[in-house]
Structure 1
Amino acid sequence: MKRGIRLLGVLLIMIQAVQAQELKSPNGQLKMSFELKKDGTPTYQLFYKNKLVVKTSKLGLELKDDKTSLLNNFSLSDTKTSTFDETWKPVWGEEAQIRNHYNELAVTLTQKETERIIMVRFRMFNEGLGFRYEFPTQKNLVYFTIKEERTQFAMAGDHTAFWIPGDYDTQEYDYTESKLSEIRSFSEGAVTENLSQTSFSPTGVQTSLIMKTNDGLYLNLHEAALINYSCMHLNLDDKNMVFESWLTPDANGDKGYMQAPANSPWRTIMVSDDARDILASKMTLNLNEPCAIEDTSWIKPVKYIGVWWEMITGKGSWQYTDDLPAVQLGVTDYSKVTPNKTHSANNTKVKRYIDFASKHGFDAVLVEGWNVGWEDWYGHSKDYVFDFVTPYPDFNVEEIHAYAKSKGVEMMMHHETSASVRNYERHMDAAYQFMNDHGYKSVKSGYVGDILPRGENHYNQWIVNHYQYAIEKAADYKIMVNAHEAVRPTGIARTYPNLIGNESARGTEYQSFGGSKPNHVTVLPFTRLIGGPMDYTPGIFEMDISKLNPENHSHVNSTMANQLALYVTMYSPLQMAADLPEHYEQFMDAFQFIKHVAIDWDQSIYLEAEPGHYITVARKEKGSSNWFVGNVNGNDARTSKISLDFLDKDKKYEATIYADAKDAHYKTNPQAYVISKKKVTHKTKLSQLSVPGGGYAISIMEVK
C-alpha cells in the first residue's frame, strides 16, 4: 500500500511537471516558468540571472454575468514554441534600424466545465517578457464582458518605485518616489488638482511603472498594443507586494466588451541590472504590428514654434472677447462683440511667429485659439463646443496660409475637443478636409475636461477606440497627429507612424501652473516615454513666469542648460521651441542649440542613467555625421563623466558645450550658463558639472 502511495505521488509530480513550461530569452539571462496549479489556475514566474524577480503570479479574467470566469479549472491542451528574429526600419525613431528578436511560447488552455479555449502567448526578449490573452473563434466563447482582468505581478521585495496615482482620466501628476509599502501613505498627497480626474484606490498606480530593487535590479511594468481594450492600471496588495491589473471602466462600470476572435494588449515586464537597458529597449514597439500605412512619404518629423506659451502663462488668451457669457455656434454673431486686447491668435502676431520660424529654420507654427467657441469651451458639459473650421474675425485662414507658404513654413492645426469626443467624430471629416484645403499637415488635438458622452472615462475601451479612430482617419487624409490628454501610448506609432507625438503626462505647461519637481524629466524617460514619444514642449528660457504675467508667480524648475538638453533626452520626432520669440532673441547664443539639434536619428546611445537622478544620451543625426548629447540632472549636483568613444575613429570633430555655470541653480540662478568649444575625437573623455535641476547639451560637428 505504501509503495502504491509512493508511485501515485511520483505520478502526480510527473503530471505537474508536464504542466510546467519554460521560456528563455535569446541571451539566456531571463527565464519564465508557466504552470497550471492543482485547481487549473494558470500562473507564471520570472527569473533574471537565476534570481526570482516575479514570484508566482496568477493569470486570467473575471467575466460579468457569468458563473464561470476564465480564472481556473483549465487543462493544458497544447503548447508551441518558436523563435523570431528580424530587423525593421521605422519611419522615424531613435534608431535607423530595430532588431526584433524573441523566443515565444504559446500555451493553449481548455476550461473543463465550459470547454472554452484561451491561449496565453509569451514572448521573451533579452530585456523582458511580454504576454497576452488570445480568444480564438469557438462556440462557447463568442460575446463576453470583462468584469476585471486578474493578471498579477507579484514582486519579490519592497522595491523603490517612481509612481503616479491610478486615475481613469489623467496622467498629469508629478512622480512620487517611495517604497511600495509606502504608496498608501503617500497617495493622498500625490493626487493633485486636475480639470478631469478619477482616482480609484489608495494603492493604485499607473503604468509605465519603474522600480528598483534593493540589490540593484530595475523593473518596468507596462502594456503594449492597446487596441480595442481598456487601459490597464495596477492595484497593489501592499501586504503581499502583489500588483494586479485594474482596467478602466466605462459609464456602466464594465471593463471591456469582447467578441472572439480577439486578444488583449501585451502585458510587459522589463528587467535589467543596468538602467540604460530599460531606456534603450524597443520591446514595446516590437510587440506592435508592422506599419499599416503603405505610403509613408508624407510622415516627417517636425520642429515647431507656436502661439501657446503666452496663453498658458496667462499673458494672452484663447478667447476673442470677454463680452459673451455663452456661445452657440451658428447663432452667436462675433461681428457685434467687442474684441478683447489679449486674444493671441490674431493675424499680426501669427505672422510674427511665421517670420521667426522662417528666419531660424523651423518647420511649422502652431496656433491655438484661432477658432470660435473659446468663450465657454470648458466646464459646462457642453456637447457642441467647436466646429473646427470657423475662425475668429481677427484670424484669416487664407491670408495666414498664403503668408506661411511664402515663407516656407507650414501651419500646425489645433483641435481642442473639450473632451466631447462624439462632437469631434461628427466633424472630423470636415475638419481634416479643411486642413488639407489650407495646407495643414499636422494637428494637435486636445481632450481637456470630463468626457462626453457623460460618465465615460479618458482611458476606457470606448474612448481608446476613439483615439485610434482619429489616428486612422487622419491617415486617410495624410495628416499627422499629436494627441494631448489622450491615453498614454503603447507603441502604436509603429503601426501608425502618423501618430508623431502625445502629451499624456505632466508636460512643460505645469511649470506655469505651480511648477514640477526638478527631477521630473529624469523620471519620464523611464515611465511615460517607454510607450512612445512625448510632446513635452521644452525650450523655456524665461523661468520667472511673473515677468510674462504679474499675477502668475510660478517658476520653471529648470536651468537653461537643462532645457536645451531635453531636446536630446526627451526623445520625440515632434519638438517645440515653446517660449516666446523675444525670449530667444535675448539669448541667441543658447538658442543656436535648439536651431541645430536634430529630431530624427540613426543611432542612440544611453551613456548614463539612474531614474530620478540623471540621464545622459548621445544621438547621431539621421543621414549625417553630427552627434548631439544631452544630460538632465535631478535634485542634487553631480559631475557627469562620459567618453566620446562612439565617435568615428577616422574623423575629427568640434564640440560646442552648453553647460550650467558654476553658480547656476534651477531656483535661484536658472539662466546662468556657459558655452565653450573644443576639438574632440573618439578618445576624448569629458567631465561636466550638472547643478540641481540642471544639465548640459553638446553639439558635435565633424571638422572637414
Structure 2
Amino acid sequence: MTMKRITKHLLSLLFCASLVHLAVAEEVKVSSLDGNTILTVQIDKQISWSVKKYDQLVLPKVTIGMTVNGNQLAQSPKLKSNKEIEKNETFEVIVPLKNRQVSNNYKELQLAFKGGFGLHFRVYNEGVAYRFYTSMRGEIEINNELMDITFPDGSSSFFPKEVSTYSHYERNYLKLDIDSIPVGDFCSLPVLFNQDDEQLRVLFSEANLYDYPNLFLELTGDKHLAARFPMAVKATIPQPGARVDRNVIITKEYDYIAKTKGKRTFPWRLFVITNDDKTMLEQDMVMQLSDPLKLTDTDWIKPGKVAWDWWNDNNIYGVDFESGLNTATYKYFIDFASEYGIEYVILDEGWTKSTTEILDFNPDMDVKEIIRYGEEKGVGIILWCLWKPLDENMKEILDTYASWGAKGIKVDFMQRADQYMVNSYEQIAKECAARQLLVDYHGSYKPNGLRKAYPNVISYEGVKGNENHKWSDEITPIHNTTLPFIRMAVGPMDYTPGAMVNMQEENFNISFSRPMSMGTRCHQLAMYVVFESGLQMMCDNPSNYYKEEESTRFISKMPSTWDKSIALEARVGEFVVMARQKGENWYIGGMTNWDERSMELDLSFLPEGIFEMVLFKDGVNANKYAQDYQVKTIKVTQSDQLTIKLAKGGGFAAILRPIQ
C-alpha cells in the first residue's frame, strides 16, 4: 500500500470515528421558569454541564462523576432515559428565618444511566442544582465524587481558605482572583464567586447532606476548582495538652469518603446565580432542596433571644455578691432576662463539674435550682456541652438534662466534616427532639438543610462572629457586611450580636474579659434585623444592658423569626438593608462597612396605612464616639422616602407599628 493510500485510509478511519463520536455524544437542556437560565448537560466520555444566564455563559463547564466500589460510574456513560418535570408548590417553615411560606418553583431534569445510577438537575429562577442517585443492592463505598468547575477569565472569589478539613468553619472571606490562588489551596463552603467585573455573582454550597461528608473546593489548575472530601474516619486519639477534652487526632482513615446504602440520593450541589446582590439575601435554596419535616410534634419548639454569659466573662457589677460561675450570678442573669422578656439564659463553659464530667455541675452552681428559678421567672435554660463526651454517652446525658428541665443544648467543638460527624449531627437532632430539647451547634460546619427536617436545630455557629473580638481585630464592619451574602445565605448563623461597648477602629482594643466591638452602637442593633438565627444571643453582660436601658428595650422587642423578608439595598462587603415582617409590625436594619454613606430608604413595601416608626440611627458624633446614637419617633406611610446618614462602621434599626 502506497503512502498516499495509507494516508487516505487513516483519514477515512478518523472521519468514521468522529461520526461515531458525534452519534454517541448527547446534549440535554432544561431552562428556568422565567426563561433566563439555561442548563445544558453534555454526555460524552464524561458527564459535564454548563449554565447560561442573561445570555451570558456563567459556568462554561462543570465535569461531574462518582467512583463507587472502585468503579467510575460516569466514565463513558450510557443514557437510558431522560424526563423533565415542573413543580409549583409552597411549604411552611416551622422556624421561619426569612419567610413563613416558601415557594418551591422549578423545572427538574431526571436522567437515568446504565450501571445503576442517575442524576437530577433542578433549575430555579435564582440558580441551579444537581445531585447523583444510585440504585444498587446492599452497601456501597463511595471512593470519591468528582466535580471540576471551570471558571471564565477574570473570575474572582470571596475565599474562606482552610488549612484542614478538620475545621470549625470560622473563616474570613478573602477577596482573591482565582488566578492568584495557589494550586492546592482549598476552602470550605459556602463560597462566593464574582464575574464580569463583579456584576455577576455565583454562590456555591450544598444541601440535604445525610450520611455523607461535607464538600470542600480545591484549586487544581488554571481557573479550575475541584471537589475535595474528608475521608471516612477509622480511628482517633485525644490530642494531648490543654484541649484533650475536645480535640482529637485522626490516626487512621478508610480509603473511601462514605460507606452507605446502595439505593439513595446524594447531596444537592447548588449554585445561586444573580446580577443583583439582593437575591442572595432573599433566596432560600438550601431549604427548597432539603428533606421535609421528620418530626410529628413541633409545638414545643420556641425560638427566642438568649442572655449569654461567656462573651462578657460573667463580668456583672453593681451587685452585693462576687460575680462568676456561681448560682447568684445566674439568678441575676435570669432576673434580667425575665424583666426584658428574653426567652432563655445559657449556661456556657464552666457550669459542669469538668468539661468531660458533664452529668454533674460544679460545686458553686446549683443547676437544678437555677433551672427551677428560671421556670418561676418564665426563662428557659440552655446547657453548653462538649461534643466528645456527649457522643460517648448521649442518651444518659440528654436524659439527665431533660429531667432537670433544661430547654436545649449548645453542643460545641465538633470541628469535623466527615461522614461520622454528619451522622452525629442528625443523631443529636433526633435524640434531642425526642426529649423536646433545642440544639445550637457550635464549633460546627455550615447549615446544610438539617433544620428543615428537624426544626429543633435552631442555629449554627460556623461563622467568625462577635466572640472573636475577645482575641482579634478581624471582625470589622467589612466582614459584617460580607456575612449576609455568603454564610447567612445558606442558613442561620449564631454570630452573637449585642455589644454595648462599641469602638471605631482607632479606639478598638482586644480584651478577653471586657470585650468590645468594632463599629457603632447602631451597627450592632441592626444585626438583630439583618442577621438570621432562631436563637439570637445578647452577648453583653446584664449590668451593661441595665446601664444602656434604651438600647436594651429596643433589642428586647426584636423577634427572632419572621413572616416575610425583603432586601432593600445590598452590596457584598459594602452595605445591606433588610426589611422584615412579623405579624402587623415591620422591622428594618441597615449596616455599612467603614465608609460613611447616606441611604435612601424607600418605604413602598409597607401595606397601606399609617405606621409609627421608632428609629435608632448613628449620632452626629458616631465617627469619633461609636456609642453615640439618636432616637426618633415619626409617622410614616408607604409613600415616604427617608434619607438616613450612616457613620463609618455604622448602621440603623427601626420598628414600625401600624397606628390603629
Q: What whole-Å deviation, never above 9, does each CA across 1:457-498 have from its counterpart, x for those lacking one?
A: 611111111111101111111111001012211122111111
Mapped contact 1:544–1:553 kept (Cα < 8 A): no
Q: Secondary structure at the match of 2:325?
A: coil
**Map of 1:399 onto structure 2:** 369
Mapped contact 1:81–1:104 kept (Cα < 8 A): yes
Q: Which residue of the other structure, out of 428, 431, 435, is the alignment partner of 1:473? A: 431
Q: Secondary structure at the match of 1:60?
A: strand
Mapped contact 2:353–2:363 kept (Cα < 8 A): no
Which one-letter code corresponds to 1:206 in the other structure? S
Q: Which residue of the other structure, out of 144, 158, 161, is the alignment partner of 1:162? A: 158
**Map of 2:579 onto structure 1:** 618
**Map of 1:410 onto structure 2:** 380
Residues 1:695 and 2:635 are matched in the alignment: no
Residues 1:31 and 2:13 are matched in the alignment: no
Q: Secondary structure at the match of 1:601?
A: coil
**Map of 1:15 onto structure 2:** 23
Change (3 A) 1:572 1:147: same
Q: Which residue of the other structure, out of 254, 273, 276, is the alignment partner of 1:274? A: 276
- For these two proteins, the number of residue pairs brought into alignment is 621
For structure 2, the 5+ residue unaligned runs are 1-7, 234-251
**Map of 2:217 onto structure 1:** 234
Deviation at 1:12, TM superposition (A): 4.7
**Map of 1:221 onto structure 2:** 204
Q: Distance in 2 between matches of 1:246 and 1:151?
A: 9
Q: Distance in 1 between matches of 2:508 and 2:261?
A: 56
Alignment of 1:269-348 (within 5 A): 269-311=271-313, 344-348=324-328
**Map of 1:368 onto structure 2:** 348
Alignment of 1:486-565 (within 5 A): 486-515=444-473, 516-543=475-502, 555-565=516-526
Q: Secondary structure at the match of 1:47?
A: strand
Q: After TM superposition, where is structure 1 displaced by more than 6 Å over at least 4 residues in a row?
A: 1-7, 544-554
Change (3 A) 1:475 1:156: same
Q: What whole-Å deviation, never above 9, does each CA across 1:269-319 have from its counterpart, x for those lacking one?
A: 11011111121111110110111111110112121102222239xx59xxx
**Map of 2:170 onto structure 1:** 172
Deviation at 1:548, TM superposition (A): 11
Mapped contact 2:501–2:515 kept (Cα < 8 A): no
Deviation at 1:609, TM superposition (A): 0.9
Q: Distance in 2 between matches of 1:252 and 1:415?
A: 27
Q: Secondary structure at the match of 2:400?
A: helix
Q: Secondary structure at the match of 2:518?
A: coil
Change (3 A) 1:550 1:608: closer
Q: Secondary structure at the match of 1:568?
A: helix
Q: Distance in 1 between matches of 2:18 and 2:367?
A: 80
Residues 1:51 and 2:56 are matched in the alignment: yes
Q: Secondary structure at the match of 1:151?
A: strand
Q: Distance in 2 between matches of 1:695 and 1:629?
A: 11
Q: Distance in 1 between matches of 2:369 and 2:173?
A: 44
Deviation at 1:541, TM superposition (A): 0.6
Q: Distance in 1 between matches of 2:335 and 2:323?
A: 19
Change (3 A) 1:96 1:149: same
Mapped contact 2:123–2:129 kept (Cα < 8 A): yes
Q: Distance in 1 between matches of 2:567 and 2:552?
A: 24
Question: Quick one: percent identity of the two aligned structures?
Answer: 25
Q: Which residue of the other structure, out of 142, 147, 152, is the alignment partner of 1:146? A: 142
Q: Distance in 2 between matches of 1:206 and 1:427?
A: 30
Q: Distance in 2 between matches of 1:500 and 1:399?
A: 25
Which one-letter code corresponds to 1:362 in the other structure? I
Mapped contact 2:463–2:494 kept (Cα < 8 A): no
TM-score (normalizing by structure 2): 0.89
Deviation at 1:351, TM superposition (A): 0.7
Alignment of 1:108-119 (within 5 A): 108-110=112-114, 116-119=115-118
Residues 1:428 and 2:387 are matched in the alignment: no
Alignment of 1:509-658 (within 5 A): 509-515=467-473, 516-543=475-502, 555-621=516-582, 624-649=583-608, 651-658=609-616
Q: Which residue of the other structure, out of 432, 442, 447, is the alignment partner of 1:484? A: 442
Q: What whole-Å deviation, never above 9, does each CA across 1:620-647 have from its counterpart, x for those lacking one?
A: 11xx211100111112222111211111
Change (3 A) 1:202 1:311: farther
Q: Which residue of the other structure, out of 102, 105, 120, is the alignment partner of 2:109? A: 105
Deviation at 1:525, TM superposition (A): 1.6
Which one-letter code corresponds to 1:273 in the other structure? N
**Map of 2:248 onto structure 1:** none
**Map of 1:189 onto structure 2:** none
* Greater strand share, structure number: 2
**Map of 2:635 onto structure 1:** 679
Deviation at 1:535, TM superposition (A): 1.3
For structure 1, the 5+ residue unaligned runs are 111-115, 185-200, 317-340, 378-384, 449-456
Which one-letter code corresponds to 2:468 in the other structure? Y
Alignment of 1:246-265 (within 5 A): 246-249=228-231, 250=233, 251-252=252-253, 254-265=256-267
Residues 1:210 and 2:192 are matched in the alignment: yes
Q: Which residue of the other structure, out of 95, 103, 119, is the alignment partner of 2:99? A: 95
**Map of 2:225 onto structure 1:** 243
**Map of 2:408 onto structure 1:** 442
Deviation at 1:211, TM superposition (A): 2.1
Instruction: Answer with 127-136 or 591-600: which moved more.
Output: 591-600
Q: What whole-Å deviation, never above 9, does each CA across 1:515-544 have from its counterpart, x for those lacking one?
A: 313211211122222221111110001137
Mapped contact 1:486–1:504 kept (Cα < 8 A): yes
Q: Secondary structure at the match of 2:324?
A: coil
Instruction: Answer with 155-164 or 676-685: which moved more.
Output: 155-164
Q: Distance in 2 between matches of 1:354 and 1:95?
A: 31
Deviation at 1:11, TM superposition (A): 5.6
Q: Secondary structure at the match of 2:117?
A: strand
Deviation at 1:549, TM superposition (A): 9.4
Q: Distance in 2 between matches of 1:24 and 1:245?
A: 25
Change (3 A) 1:233 1:74: same
Mapped contact 1:371–1:389 kept (Cα < 8 A): no
Q: Distance in 1 between matches of 2:74 and 2:432?
A: 39
Q: What whole-Å deviation, never above 9, does each CA across 1:82-118 have from its counterpart, x for those lacking one?
A: 11111111112121211111111111122xxxxx221
